[in-house]
Amino acid sequence: MTFEKTCFVALEDVIAVRFTCANCGTSVIVPVKEMLEGKVDVGLHIVRRCQCGEESNFGTGTLETENLIRFNKLLAGLPATLKARNIHFALQIECSE
């Protein structure tokens, strides 16, 4: 008999997203609720230069930046969309040992 461990995260369990500088490791955590309420402009966190001086390499108005902004907004809004539907949606993630 073979067992396989799988791990999933439901979108409604996501409470924040984190942007981390690849150079110094400084992180900014953006609560999903604040994105939904329009209190936080996630795009500013994507294009902003880190305090260490490192650029994110996401330019203002580029397709890549707009796609990442849309992804974050969709991630924040999908739980409400799916709540009234007859489908459950989850993302499979790598499991810790």
Q: Which two tokens stand for residue 59?
A: 């330019």
Per residue in 3-18, pLDDT tens?
A: 888 999 999 999 999 9
Per residue in 23-39, pLDDT tens?
A: 999 999 999 999 888 89
Domain range annotation of the chain: 7-93
Query: Degrees (nearest 5) of the Cα angle 24, 27, 30?
Result: 160
What integer is the mean pLDDT of 45-67? 91
Per residue in 77-88, pLDDT tens?
A: 999 898 889 999
Which residues touch 93 (CB under 8 Å, ≥6 apart)?
A: 7, 8, 9
Are the beta carbons of 23 and 50 closer than 8 angstroms? yes
Which residues touch 15 (CB under 8 Å, ≥6 apart)?
A: 31, 32, 33
